[in-house]
Amino acid sequence: MAVTLAALVARFGGELVGDGAVTVRQVAPLDRAGPDEIGFVSQARYLAQLSNTRAGAVILPPEARDATERPRILTPNPYLYFARVSALLNPPPRPPAGVHPAATVAADASIAADASIGPGAVIGAGASVGARSVIGPNCVIGDGARIGADCLLHANVTVYHQCEIGDRAILHAGCVIGADGFGFAPDGERWEKIPQIGRVRIGDDVEVGACTTIDRGALEDTVIEAGVKLDNLIQVAHNVTIGAHSAIAACTGIAGSARIGRHCTIGGAAMIFGHIEIADNTRISTNTLITKSLPKAGTYTSALPFSEHEVWQKNAVHMRNLDKLVKRIKALEQKLGELEKP
Amino acid sequence: MAVTLAALVARFGGELVGDGAVTVRQVAPLDRAGPDEIGFVSQARYLAQLSNTRAGAVILPPEARDATERPRILTPNPYLYFARVSALLNPPPRPPAGVHPAATVAADASIAADASIGPGAVIGAGASVGARSVIGPNCVIGDGARIGADCLLHANVTVYHQCEIGDRAILHAGCVIGADGFGFAPDGERWEKIPQIGRVRIGDDVEVGACTTIDRGALEDTVIEAGVKLDNLIQVAHNVTIGAHSAIAACTGIAGSARIGRHCTIGGAAMIFGHIEIADNTRISTNTLITKSLPKAGTYTSALPFSEHEVWQKNAVHMRNLDKLVKRIKALEQKLGELEKP
Amino acid sequence: MAVTLAALVARFGGELVGDGAVTVRQVAPLDRAGPDEIGFVSQARYLAQLSNTRAGAVILPPEARDATERPRILTPNPYLYFARVSALLNPPPRPPAGVHPAATVAADASIAADASIGPGAVIGAGASVGARSVIGPNCVIGDGARIGADCLLHANVTVYHQCEIGDRAILHAGCVIGADGFGFAPDGERWEKIPQIGRVRIGDDVEVGACTTIDRGALEDTVIEAGVKLDNLIQVAHNVTIGAHSAIAACTGIAGSARIGRHCTIGGAAMIFGHIEIADNTRISTNTLITKSLPKAGTYTSALPFSEHEVWQKNAVHMRNLDKLVKRIKALEQKLGELEKP
């Protein structure tokens, strides 16, 4: 696919400087870009990258108008512009519409005529798949589950019975939507299973990473609001709510009934306790454990700095005696106070 | 499905107070329950929830007999009772018995006549599936593997060759039982694979969460005893033993040859070193790293409290200098001792 | 299968002491080995295990030549020798060559005549599978993906479009190669997806654990070099490079564009920041967070020692006040200095 700079500006806005007839076929990092590729610089401090590039065109912030002679598009948010150009040049692969003969679709499932159901996919009784949605090979959609329009489910995704996915969702391979929450009542020395009768409801424009698991609710639903982005290998327990447009990095765990606000960002391998609430716009750092509600937006951290092993061992052992250390300091302060008395 | 309170008491015990002919169709939290639903209060401190409920009936501890006028069932363990009522009202969906035409079953596999093998499932040579067990769509059961009676394998589960699963197991989507343990012998600068010739043996009444992985043993077996409950995204390495009725929350990792006792509870994202033993009835907190054996039951923790990021940064940096701090305190104590000498 | 000690020495080297006609059929730990099994002792300090063994033969280091009367093979690296004997006696199960009738293979895919494509497997357009490779049941190989020779893909593996896997790879069930990296540009209060147009390229002799996820690159490729061993449930983000023969334990996460050197070993549940470089031969401990580049090989740690819960609580709370503690120590030092002045 090829597109002229003039066509890009007509479609996405921005100010064109230079020859609008220049054609680009792909996006690329500046140091690797060739004459039919377009790159970008997001911030003034990276402008040095322009000096050696062979890119056919570049996307720049307005204040960098004169930083190069090359054909360029000026826009206040070059990274976002670049994303849109890339999406135009790299449409996701779309298998042909229709149900593959090697798929198994329940007689009463409702499949949009222009949806694509891949080989080996299994669609349960009463389930529905919306317009233009793609259900990848070997996906399993449970009874009564609903997949919206324009969704892309990659291979081997599992959506349990009755769960709902909004429009334009992207679910990556191996993710599991709607498995039972971890709920058991103690019965003497054994555990009795609490049936998990809630569902998972996922809003529009959500992306879920590979092997991420989102459990169904115990009595009410687990809710992922619109625009949420979840990376790989994340655990979302039953009855969690994740507010709209929050983004969560890989390996994070969120315990039952936690309520994450809107527009939050959570670093990788964070762990969030259950039954707590996190304010909108909160940022949680990588490897941080959140043990109580955060009613105030801010950035929260409990990640430890590493050291060389021997150094670390010497220091870490004192963690076990901090309380004694504090008492020793207090004693010193008292004694010194005595000595200083006239 | 509908059931009278009298029928519930006949089945599960407890003392009925009020009209036994009242019918309930579903369980619900008290604040959402309607006239044909039953809720519960587990502890006296939650009794206030009764004041506004519209639930048709409630399950209460005996000491709360007079806390409401509503029809009620008194029982010492309302949560457990609620679980049983819910299980009665919400039987797990049961696909029809028989082998789906889109399944692939080896000629010499042994499938109980009333078992259900879903579309896309693959059952290997010499494998067996017990009475009334359900093998979900696209599950793969390896050669010689044995699945007990009354098991429920959700979609896309993998059980490797020769592994054994007891009766009444529930395996959630994407879990992997019996992949090779992580064993390699160094050979100069490369690694030589150690064949993993043990199996995984799972007892009765075990539940395994979505995308949880349990590796087969190197020489002997990895063993999950009866009644163990594993949440999602847990790693169980080769030759681990998990004692009966232990429950382990999501994102936890257990390294090779660790022996977890019976009736242990392990919080999320805990990490357990290999080749250690943990006593029965031990509790391990969320995010805790256990580096050596715990011969004595107790609760063990190494999870750090979080702070606002700037506060945390100021404090955490001292972790790298704790040893020096301790030396400074020691020096102060000596000097003070000198000063205090007469 | 059975093999004489003489045949083993002819094949793998080492010095035979005792009857070369002795036949062994399996490897086993010394305490369980029977007369037709062979065990090993890797180090002098474990030689006591020889006293009670019933093993038909043992593999020993040369200096242990006289530690037993049993038939024995002397070799400088008994563990490696044992691995090779085990591999000989336990060849991985090999399904028959050919495409199973229940597989779905694109017309233009290139499948080696002696490769094995299992039931339910799906091979995309233009994909290729090399000589003698095994694609397990329900695996999905995307369009244009390339699988080398002698690979073993267990069940339910997903390899996305255009990704490349070298020769002799072992990919365990549920692993996902080539899902989109986690890349989004902020657009006001929503996120715009950055198309991930790079691939994953995996070298020869790589093993990938169950449910491990390796994301495709954003613009350039994610690269796993030859001989790398990845355990289960590991997250490898977009544009990461992992150097040859590095080994990484379960539950570890590696953020985008990190460069791990060659021959590194990384303990379980480590977290590696993005855009950093780690020197060859570096060792990172379990549960350690690496926040910046490590230009010098060494062992690095930030894992905390655990305590009994009550003890831990008392100590950990001071982490929040370390900076204040340090100031108190400084004040004490100053005051003492004043007092000590003549």
Is the distance from CB of B290 to CB of B272 less than 8 angstroms?
yes
Burial of C322 (0-12, 13-18, 19+ CB in 10 A): buried
Give the pLDDT of residue C95: 95
Residue among A40, A42, A45, A75 at smallest CA distance from A58? A40
Is the distance from CB of A249 to CB of A235 less than 8 angstroms?
no
| DSSP summary character for residue C317 | G
Homologous superfamily (CATH) of B3-89 is: MurE/MurF, N-terminal domain (3.40.1390.10)
C305, pLDDT greater than 90: no
Is the distance from CB of C153 to CB of C134 less than 8 angstroms?
yes
Residue among A141, A150, A151, A206 at smallest CA distance from A177? A141
C342, pLDDT greater than 80: no
d(Cα B317, Cα C322) in Å, to the nearest integer? 9
Structure tokens, C269: 């549940």
Residue among B30, B35, B38 at smallest CA distance from B12? B38
Is the distance from CB of B121 to CB of B100 less than 8 angstroms?
yes
For residue range A63-110, list pLDDT tens digits in order. 999 999 999 999 999 999 999 999 999 998 889 999 999 999 999 999
Is the distance from CB of B301 to CB of B282 less than 8 angstroms?
no
Residue among C156, C92, C152 at smallest CA distance from C119? C156
C218, pLDDT greater than 90: yes
CA distances from C194 to A80, A87, A111, C80, C200 (A): 8, 7, 29, 46, 17
Is the distance from CB of B55 to CB of B37 less than 8 angstroms?
yes
Test mutation, B25, B211, B288, chain A, max A CBs within 10 A: B211
Test mutation, B105, B187, B192, chain C, max C CBs within 10 A: B192
For residue range C127-186, list pLDDT tens digits in order. 999 999 999 999 999 999 999 999 999 999 999 999 999 999 999 999 999 999 999 999
CA distances from A100 to A117, A118, C297 (A): 6, 5, 53
Alpha-carbon dihedral B42, B44, B46, B48, rounded to 10 degrees: 130
Residue A334, CA atoms < 13 Å, CB-side half-sphere:
6
**Chain B residues near residue A253 by CB distance under 8 angstroms:** 233, 250-251, 268-269
CA distances from B275 to C80, C148, C230 (A): 21, 37, 20
d(Cα C30, Cα C68) in Å, to the nearest integer? 13
Per DSSP, the residues of B105-146 read E-TT-EE-TT-EE-TT-EE-TT-EE-TT-EE-TT-EE-TT-E
d(Cα C147, Cα A249) in Å, to the nearest integer? 29
Q: Which long-range contacts (CB under 8 A, 24 or more apart) does C140-144 make?
A: C140/A120, C140/A136, C140/A137, C140/A138, C140/A155, C140/A156, C140/A173, C142/A155, C142/C178, C143/A93, C143/C106
Is the distance from CB of C227 to CB of C265 less than 8 angstroms?
no
Per DSSP, the residues of B189-247 read TEEEE------EEE-TT-EE-TT-EEEPPSSS-EEE-TT-EE-SS-EE-TT-EE-TT-E
Which amino acid, one-letter code, is at C52? Answer: N
Is the pTM value of this prediction over 0.95? yes
**Chain A residues near residue B227 by CB distance under 8 angstroms:** 190-191
Stretch C84-111: mean pLDDT:
96
The catalytic residue among A172, A238, A245, A318 is A238
Query: 3-state DSSP helix/strand/coil percent for chain C, to nearest 5?
Result: 20, 30, 55
Mean pLDDT of chain C: 96
d(Cα B313, Cα B311) in Å, to the nearest integer? 5
The answer to whether C176 contacts A287, with C-beta atoms less than 8 Å apart, is no
Q: Is the dihedral of CA A145, A148, A149, A153 positive or negative?
A: negative
Homologous superfamily (CATH) of A98-300 is: Hexapeptide repeat proteins (2.160.10.10)
Burial of C283 (0-12, 13-18, 19+ CB in 10 A): middle
Q: What ipTM score was computed for the predicted complex, to two decimals?
A: 0.96
Is the distance from CB of B300 to CB of B282 less than 8 angstroms?
yes
Give the pLDDT of residue B339: 84
d(Cα A213, Cα B230) in Å, to the nearest integer? 14
Measure A120 CA to nearest chain C CA, in Å: 6
**Chain A residues near residue B53 by CB distance under 8 angstroms:** none
Is the distance from CB of B43 to CB of B79 less than 8 angstroms?
no
Give the pLDDT of residue B338: 86
Give the pLDDT of residue A173: 98
Give the pLDDT of residue B46: 85
Per DSSP, the residues of C95-131 read PPSEE-TT-EE-TT-EE-TT-EE-TT-EE-TT-EE-T
CA distances from B82 to B17, B59, B188, B201, B239 (A): 16, 7, 60, 32, 37
For residue range B315-341, list pLDDT tens digits in order. 998 999 999 999 999 999 998 888 887
The answer to whether A185 contacts B82, with C-beta atoms less than 8 Å apart, is yes
d(Cα A313, Cα B72) in Å, to the nearest integer? 58
**Chain A residues near residue B84 by CB distance under 8 angstroms:** 192
List per-residue pLDDT tens for chain A, 342 residues long. Answer: 899 999 999 999 999 999 999 999 999 999 999 999 999 998 888 888 899 899 999 999 999 999 999 999 999 999 999 999 999 999 988 899 999 999 999 999 999 999 999 999 999 999 999 999 999 999 999 999 999 999 999 999 999 999 999 999 999 999 999 999 999 999 999 999 999 999 999 999 999 999 999 999 999 999 999 999 999 999 999 999 999 999 999 999 999 999 999 999 999 999 999 999 999 999 999 999 999 999 999 999 999 889 999 999 999 989 999 999 999 999 999 988 888 876
Domain positions in chain B are 3-89, 98-300, 309-340
Residues of chain B with pLDDT under 70: 342
Measure B161 CA to nearest chain C CA, in Å: 9
Test mutation, C176, C265, C287, C318, chain B, max B CBs within 10 A: C287
Give the pLDDT of residue C330: 92
CB atoms within 10 A of CB C62: 11
Cα nearest neighbour of A76 on chain C: C187
